[in-house]
Amino acid sequence: MSHNGCNFSYGHYQEILRAILQNGYSCCLFGSEVEDSEPIVYLRHDVDIDLISAKRLSEIEFNNGIKATYFIFLASPFYNPFEREPAEAIKYIASLGHEIGVHYDNSITPSDTTKIAETIYKQADTLQKGLDINIKVVSFHRPSKIILESNLTFQNIENVYQEKYFKQIKYLSDSRQVWQEGCPCQIFKKKLYSRLQILFHPVWWTDEGFRAQICLEKFLTRSSLSLDRSLQGNVSVYKSTAARIHKLVIGETND
Ligand SMILES: [Zn+2]
Ligand SMILES: [Zn+2]
Ligand sitting nearest the alpha carbon of 8 = 1
Ligand 2 centre distance from Cα of residue 240 (Å): 37
Ligand nearest to the CA of 187: 1
Distance set, CA 110 to CA 78, 186, 251 (Å): 23, 38, 40
Average pLDDT, the chain: 92
User: What angle (nearest 5°) sits at the alpha carbon of residue 163, between those of residues 14 and 174?
Assistant: 30
Nearest alpha carbon to residue 190 among 4, 12, 24, 6: 24
> What is this structure's pTM?
0.92
CA neighbor of 27 nearest in space, from 10, 13, 43, 44: 43
Q: Is the pLDDT of residue 74 over 70?
A: yes
pLDDT tens profile 204-229: 999 999 999 999 999 999 998 888 88
CA pair distance 143, 149, nearest whole angstrom: 10
Over the stretch 113-158, which tens digit does the pLDDT of each residue have?
Answer: 899 999 999 999 999 999 999 999 999 999 988 899 999 999 999 9
| pLDDT tops 70 at residue 104 | yes
Q: Which of the 8 DSSP states describes residue 24?
A: T
Ligand nearest 185 Cα, by number?
1
> What distance in angstroms lies between residue 231's CA and the mean position of ligand 1's atoms?
41
Ligand nearest to the CA of 201: 2
The burial class, CB within 10 Å (0-12 / 13-18 / 19+), for 83 is exposed
Q: 102 C-alpha vs ligand 1 centroid, how far in Å?
A: 28
Place 112 in a pLDDT band, splitting at 50, 70 and 90: confident
Ligand 2 mean position, distance from CA 133 (Å): 20
Q: Which CATH class is domain 10-204?
A: alpha beta
CA atoms within 13 A on the CB side of 76: 19
Cα 225 to averaged position of ligand 1 atoms, centre (Å)? 33
For ligand 2, the distance from its centroid to the CA atom of residue 59, given in whole angstroms, is 21
Give the integer Cα–Cα distance in Å for 75 and 123.
10
